[in-house]
A and B are shown apart, each in its own frame.
Chain A
């Protein structure tokens, strides 16, 4: 009985003999798998648009997966703005030129549709290039605000920036 309790005290001491000359790699593999899983989850594979966002030192970190994204860029001449309803800057996401009211309605419909179809999305993110005109950004914001879902439940509009020191 006495021997048994003493044995129990010895149990957690060492499970593997260290002098067998081999390093135990199990914890290292565990950590590596954790890192691997982290990077798989956190990285996104779809081609991402490279928008030259304006720089600011203070920005809220939000997850792009939880937002409806609208991209606003200016073409080479610096005159004609392009509004993309989506993250990929694809041709089919482009809002066609036309009447201002119609274009705003297109934006509102898109936001409405995305918010309805994806319950995880709860905000609108406008990624506007730094060389866009303020009027264009305002135009898009007004289009978003036309959607009743976008303004409901205290949903916010976020303007994408690039963080600088």
Chain B
């Protein structure tokens, strides 16, 4: 153990761990620290034997770079970046060895692209209502027959002037001129009268928006089934 410990050319890590996990456990940490200090002082005096890729400061390394055609190093400043003169040029970056790509411009461009796509992104997700296919070509002309036995459903009738009429078990064709009146009336029917289904009877001249509002009211109240019928009959 002691033979290897003071050899500066060896990788120091195994010895650290040996010291940590060695038999002399109680003094291991201090021994470790002392060993490292010893090694560092030795290395400082023996720099030419120390080949570390992260420090291209010694003669052989800079020569190597120059032979590879790298022009990043100032010829008058072969001894690397530890000089005080280096601070003279405030914006100068540390020169990058040739085998490492400078990522900065690529990252800049990527960020620009990212921001561009984030700003212009319009998502292809569309919110929608699922509806059944139309079964017959003939629009129903007898929607009011359904109201004779209002068992478990609520009927919303939308006439040609876009007025709602809500029919439920307790109330027949109650006129609801506004959206909110219709909503509260339908909620009442669903919560207190045990309604489960919703039937929308819309006049062909009524607005699509009104039908969607009526449909949405059913969805809010958890209607098990929503049906749309159209009629040409005026009210």
Which A residues from 113 to 153 make CB contacts under 8 A with B?
A: 125, 127-138, 141-142, 144-145, 150-151
Chain B residues near A20 (CB, 8 Å)?
A: 54
Chain B minimum-CB-distance residue to A135: B204
Cross-interface CB contact of B103 among A29, A39, A54, A56, cutoff 8 Å? A29
User: Is the pair A134, B206 in contact by a Cβ cutoff of 8 Å?
Assistant: yes
Task: Tell me the count of chain B residues lying within 8 A, CB to CB, of chain A.
Answer: 53
Most chain B beta-carbon contacts within 10 A, residue among A9, A57, A134? A134
Looking across the interface, which residue of chain B has its beta carbon closest to that of A39? B117
Q: Which residue of chain A is the closest to B132 with respect to CB atoms?
A: A157
Residues on A with C-beta less than 8 A from B206 are 133-134
> From A61, which residue of chain B is reached at the shortest CB distance?
B125
A150: B residues at CB distance < 8 A: 133
Known: A3-B17, A29-B103, A159-B212. A132 touches B207 (CB 8 A): yes
Q: B41 CB to closest chain A CB, in angstroms? A: 20
CB-nearest residue of chain B relative to A59?
Answer: B127
How many Å lie between the Cα of A138 and that of B212 in the bound state? 13
Decide: B139 and A54 in contact? CB cutoff 8 A: no
B124 within 8 A of A: yes
The size class of the interface chain A forms with chain B is: 35 or more
B134-A135 in contact (CB<8A): no
Task: Given A60-B130, A134-B202, decide whether A44 and B124 contact each other with a Cβ distance below 8 A.
Answer: yes
Residue numbers in A under 8 Å from B122 (CB-CB): 43-44, 48
Asked if B155 lies at the interface with its beta carbon under 8 angstroms from chain A, I say no
B20 with A6: CB separation less than 8 A: yes
Question: Does B32 count as interface, using CB distance less than 8 angstroms?
Answer: no
In the assembled complex, the CB of A80 is this many whole angstroms from the nearest CB of chain B, namely 14
B131 on the A face (CB < 8 A): yes
Assess A130 versus B110: contact at CB under 8 Å? Given A54-B213, A56-B129, A157-B130: no
B68 in contact (CB, < 8 A): no
Q: Is B128 an interface residue (CB 8 A)?
A: yes
Q: How far is the CB of B127 from chain A (nearest CB, A)?
A: 3
Please indicate the chain A residues that have their CB under 8 angstroms from the CB of B137 in the complex: 142
Residues on B with beta carbons closer than 8 Å to the beta carbon of A162: 127
B14 to chain A, nearest CB (A): 5
Shortest Cβ gap from A108 to chain B (Å): 12
B203 within 8 A of A: yes
- Looking at B83-91, B145-153, B214-222, the stretch in contact with chain A turns out to be B214-222
Q: Which residues of B contact A130 (CB under 8 A)?
A: 207-209, 212
Per-residue interface assignment for chain A, residues 6 to 47, with 1 indicating a CB less than 8 Å from any chain B CB and 0 otherwise: 110110000000001000010001001101100110111000
Does B70 reach chain A (CB closer than 8 Å)?
A: no
Q: Per-residue 0/1 for B13-36: is the Cβ within 8 Å of any A Cβ (1 yes, 0 no)?
A: 111011011000000000000000
The 5 A-B residue pairs with the shortest CB-CB distance, nearest first, are A135-B204, A59-B127, A130-B209, A39-B117, A158-B128
11 A-B contacts (beta carbon < 8 Å):
A3-B18, A4-B14, A6-B20, A29-B110, A36-B113, A125-B126, A131-B207, A133-B205, A137-B211, A145-B134, A163-B127
